[in-house]
A = this chain, B = another copy of it.
Amino acid sequence: MSTPLQEASKGRRRLPPEERRRQLVAIGLQELSTRPIHALSIDRVAEIAGISRSLLFRYFPTKQDFYVAVVGAASRRLLRAANPDPQEQDPLRAVLRAFVSFIDRHGDNYQAFFHSGFGSDPQIAAIHDSMRDTMVERVVTALNYDDDLLTRIRLRAWWALVESLAIDRFREGMLSVDEVVDYSAALLPAVLNSPLTFPESGS
């Protein structure tokens, strides 16, 4: 859209670094949504960008660096796009609706980047975890809740449930966004209040 991936035929070269970097990451975003990393060569990225492989290594000294940058960008894009609408009355529903409707629009990409299983790549797993934590953080904020570790564990589990619902909704296409939002919100009290440990501090 705003940044063309391929140079115009006779097109300009010698972009400012920031712009080139963005172009390369954009290409990675596009390519890695259909292919795993080990099936994407640096040569292919360079060819699409219309530059030499060497230049790519100036921006990303290692293929892994490129990979991490692309996945980080995907994560940031999700967090930006799934930002809750501050206008909405119910802040919890706002977070949920933002996320579920993001999956509605970009479900295939989301699955490719964050739900396909597998990897055991620590850097990538860290990005994934941090993304999930940010979403949970938003829920905590929306709820004005204490966030001790146990509550965090409950909320992470609940969020995994929400994620599964959002993806199944996208795949099966038989539930509305509102149904998923309402159902998820309805389950939250049970998740937060069902007893988990026997000798709790408070209560």
A186 closest partner in B (C-beta): B194
Residues of B within 8 A of A196 (CB): 175, 179, 183
Question: How many residues of chain A have a CB within 8 Å of chain B?
Answer: 54
Q: Which of B128, B156, B198 sits near A116, CB closer than 8 Å? A: B128
| A119 in contact with B168 (CB, 8 Å) | no
A153 part of interface (Cβ distance < 8 Å): yes
**Known contacts A36-B119, A125-B117; A175 and B157 CB within 8 A of each other:** no
A1 part of interface (Cβ distance < 8 Å): no
Residues of B within 8 A of A182 (CB): 195
A34 part of interface (Cβ distance < 8 Å): yes
Contact with B along A141-158 (1 / 0, CB 8 A): 000000001100100111
**Known contacts A190-B190, A196-B175; A36 and B120 CB within 8 A of each other:** yes
Q: Which of B121, B149, B172 sits near A172, CB closer than 8 Å? A: B149
Q: When chains A and B are docked, how far (Å) is the Cα of A153 from the Cα of B184?
A: 13
Within 8 A of B (CB), among A84-116: 111-116
Q: List 11 A-B contacts (CB under 8 A).
A: A38-B38, A112-B120, A113-B120, A116-B119, A116-B128, A117-B117, A117-B127, A149-B174, A157-B165, A161-B164, A183-B196
**Known contacts A117-B117, A117-B125, A160-B164, then 10 further A-B pairs from the complex at CB < 8 Å, ordered by chain A residue:** A36-B119, A39-B121, A117-B127, A118-B119, A149-B174, A153-B165, A157-B161, A157-B165, A183-B195, A187-B190
